[in-house]
Chains A and B, each alone.
Chain A
Amino acid sequence: MRHTKEEKVAYLFDEIGGISDVLVAEAMAYRPKRRSMMPKYLAVAASLLVCCILFVTLLLPAKNNAGQESNSSGDGAPYVSLDAMLTNASAELRYTELSSREELNFFGKQAYLVWQEEGSDTLCVSRPLTYGELQRLTRAATEGTSVGEEEVSLQYRVWILCGDGTVITPYLQQTAGTVGYGELFDYDPELYPSQSFTTLVSDLLT
């Protein structure tokens, strides 16, 4: 029996629809590993540079202040990570809870800070952000320091919903591939959020 090429292609196309469920599920669950954009030696050099800067800017002032103030605040205050702040202050934070991502309104013309504990489906949503708060948060979100080659595990993931469909996170550099929603929810951190970002979040939520 002879068949045209179009018929054969149609059968092949149909048959692709019958491939194993495991393969179909795998394709949708696939998340790419973050690729290092630099050669390894450059990455090592960059990491060393970051360590030196951190040492100079954080450790030395902390040492100098150690004898003067036991619990300092403001300039020279010990670095508190965003993750640690959310963990330690979780009982004092003010927020509303949503049970799933589908309840989030990405296009509601209203900006929010959203965070989620690892392993939990519940999303914590801040009060609506003012324009000024959104501007300060998005600016501070760009000031993080690179995690380098280190694998960082987070207790909380954090996003800023800008209200126009755009979502950013202080844990990723703001490139075309990381500003948006959908795929952003399962990121691996590229940046440690800056102290100023953590402070802004702390002020916003307490």
Chain B
Amino acid sequence: MEDCKIVDLYWERNENAIGESDKKYGKMLKALSLSLLSSREDAEECVNDTYLDAWNAMPTARPAYLGAFLSKITRRISVDRFRATHRQKRGGMENLTEELGECIPSSISVVEEYENGRLSKALDAFLAALEKEKRVMFIRRYFYSQPVAEIASAMQLGESKVKVTLHRVRESLRQFLEEQELL
């Protein structure tokens, strides 16, 4: 079923909306949550919570890209759950944040920029300026939390090529944040 029809079901308060969402995006959302939480049960709960959030958000929201909309909710819920229950443990998300640490210039005021919305716009601008292949690689890694091997397979590239490209993009992001005076 097309996204717009599923969104219509949400707006009509038709419970089939959840079934259709799960049919179309359930596997992807579970994979996203699982990569962050490393627990199948937690991942399934997060995906169920995603549908509840989507149900509460529509109406008023009318997402043009339902998959992206649901992915964002799943990611947020999964990150929150990780922080709430795994503070003492190290898992998939810890590895990602370690890598992203390379993007932080020594004196950057990320928190302040985050709070006033500049960081969000800067990230969109940075990603939009990247070559498509690099952009896709970055988003698959740091939005969808896909393992490098999975990205390499999906993009028909070698793992080393993906690792090197991601390293360069992180370096570019650090420079970009400095140039934009997000300091």
Report which A residues bind B (CB closer than 8 A).
1, 3, 5-28, 30, 32, 34-35, 100, 102, 177, 183
Contacts and interface: CB of A to CB of B under 8 A. Distances in A.
B76 interface: yes
Interface in B130-183: 132-133, 135-136, 139-140, 142-144, 153-157
Closest 6 CB pairs of A and B: A24-B68, A27-B139, A8-B110, A21-B68, A25-B65, A21-B65
A17 B33 CA distance: 13
B100 A13 contact: yes
Contact of A28 (B28, B64, B112): B28
Interface stretch (B9-17, B40-48, B117-125): B117-125
Contacts of B50: none
Contact of B104 (A5, A18, A102): A5
A27 B144 CA distance: 9
B104 to A, nearest CB: 5
B30 to A, nearest CB: 13
Contact of A13 (B67, B97, B128, B140): B97
By DSSP majority rule, is chain A's interface helix, strand, loop, or mixed?
A: helix
A190 to B, nearest CB: 12
Nearest to B32: A28
A12 B100 contact: yes
Given A20-B128, A23-B139, A26-B136, 18 more contacts: A5-B101, A9-B103, A10-B97, A11-B119, A15-B120, A15-B123, A16-B142, A17-B72, A18-B120, A19-B124, A19-B143, A20-B124, A21-B65, A23-B127, A26-B132, A28-B144, A32-B133, A100-B23
Nearest to B114: A11
Contacts of B120: 15, 18-19
Contacts of A23: 124, 127-128, 135, 139
B58 interface: no
B110 A12 contact: yes
B140 A27 contact: yes
